[in-house]
Amino acid sequence: MLARDRIIVGLEVGTSKVCAVVGEMLEDGNLMIIGVGQAASDGVRKGEIVNMEAAMRNIQSAVAAAEDSAGVEIHNVYASVSGGHISSFSNRGSVVVTNDDSAIGEEEVRNVMLNAKSVSIPVDHVVVHAIRQHFFVDGHDGIQNPVGMVGSRLEVDVHVIHGVRNRLMNTIKCIKQVPLDVANIAVSSFASALAVLTAEHQQLGAVVIDMGGGTTDYIVYREGTVQHSGVIAVGGDHITNDIAVGLKIPMNRAEQLKIEHGNTLVSERSEEIALKREVGMPERTVSKQQLCRIINLRVEEMLMLIRQELEKQNLLDYLGAGVFITGGCARLRGMEALAYQVFGGLPIHVGPGENNKSGGGLAGRPSDISGPTAAIESPEFSTAIGLARYALYSQRDQHQPPTVWQRAGQKFQQLVAKVRMFM
């Protein structure tokens, strides 16, 4: 039996599936995936729990499967959150250094972080992440750690991700009813980025787009830190719905067609796909071109929305490492070529997965994550794998004095604890 404190679990309660990834923290500080459990998700719409009872049962099944697969008991998880209510902005905090010798210490750093976070978010919202970007000392930019420096004014830029408290709490409450403890939460885009980007990608600049069933979660890194993030409440289910409506077929057939014959690119050649007879539906054929046109329109629209947002934020020119597409929809054929068109020639990485035969860059996993190919190569596991990596970092640092960033995390924990008292 593995020592309990070496086991970490990432849990994504997604719109299409609930997925638990069990990781083991290795002696060398790396993460090895030792088990994965999945269950279909039927209590979630557009990334948010709408049926607690159903979601709880799905979590139980996924966790039981993960326990079997890893041969461990699961008591505690890191969970992801998503949904259209999650939004973000960047903010600058500022403090005057009042020490006699103008030396900047931990206290000033703590205060400036608090100041940066004390922004007005809607009253029903809470901060999920306050991610440090850069410090400024007396207006000098790009300082990574100001402790020990001399200055009279300390500033910091942070990326604040916030969401509606009650909706976030629904996820935590649901997991607690399983019953499991929630060690911490992270937004899905942040978790997925941890599963597909290396430190080098983050430094060069990259956008991670996680296209799931009901949401598309994205996050932008530049110069090693998070610059922007967002959630679009549109995902693969909308593609399926478009197919069902466009071809006048039931949703389950549309989903099957999408997976078996779908392509985000429309071929010149016309081809008919035979649909077998089924209750309420006679035998018939559908045009593959029409199917792919429907998919193309929706996926292009989703990618365009993100492109426009990045343009608005003036970030498109800073994506040296390019665009990383993950989540279940990364398995759609032709994704890489379409993304290449939309993002005007930026490097495109799709996956990780073996389904992408379009001849270009597959996104990998960072090298400190290992495990069975089935887990490592599945794009729909990115969020849960990233959560396990998030857990690894949190636990690895537990024996070190807490950093500003961790203290920010602990603040959230306190908040979670406070809210829990009312549950």
Ligand X SMILES: Nc1ncnc2c1ncn2[C@@H]1O[C@H](COP(=O)(O)OP(=O)(O)O)[C@@H](O)[C@H]1O
Binding-residue pattern over the window 24 to 43 for ligand X, x denoting contact by CB under 6 A: -----------------x--
> 184 or 188, CB closer to ligand X?
188
> What is the nearest approach in angstroms of ligand X to the Cβ of residue 395?
24
> 35 or 236, CB closer to ligand X?
236
Pairing of the two strands 322-326 and 206-211: parallel
CA distances to 188, 275, 365, 369 from 198, in Å:
17, 44, 8, 11
Q: What is the DSSP letter of 118?
A: -
For residues 265 and 253, what is the distance between their CA atoms, to the nearest angstrom? 20
Task: Please report whether residue 132 would count as binding ligand X according to CB under 6 A.
Answer: no
Q: Is the dihedral of CA 193, 196, 202, 205 positive or negative?
A: negative
Pairing of the two strands 48-49 and 44-45: antiparallel
Task: Please report whether residue 43 would count as binding Mg ion according to CB under 5 A.
Answer: no
For residues 319 and 304, what is the distance between their CA atoms, to the nearest angstrom? 16
**Binding partner selected for residue 255 from Mg ion, ligand X, none, CB under the kind-specific 5 to 8 Å limit:** ligand X
Interface size with ligand X, residues (CB under 6 A): 24
> 170 or 383, CB closer to Mg ion?
383
> What is the nearest approach in angstroms of ligand X to the Cβ of residue 84?
13
> What is the nearest approach in angstroms of Mg ion to the Cβ of residue 12?
6
Judged by CB under 6 A, the chain residues 376 through 395 that form the site for ligand X are 380
**Binding partner selected for residue 85 from ligand X, Mg ion, none, CB under the kind-specific 5 to 8 Å limit:** none
Residue 312 phi/psi, 5° resolution? -60, -40
Identity of residue 64? A
Closest CA to 423 of 59, 258, 176: 176
Instruction: Indicate the burial class of 418 (C-beta count within 10 angstroms; 0-12, 13-18, 19 or more).
Output: exposed
Which one of 24, 108, 155, 255 is in contact with ligand X (CB under 6 A)? 255
Closest CA to 364 of 390, 391, 388, 382: 382
> 262 or 352, CB closer to ligand X?
262
Instruction: Tell me which residues touch ligand X (CB under 6 A).
Output: 12, 14-17, 41, 212-214, 235-237, 240, 255, 258-259, 262, 327-329, 331-332, 355, 380
Residues that bind Mg ion (CB under 5 A): 14, 212, 383
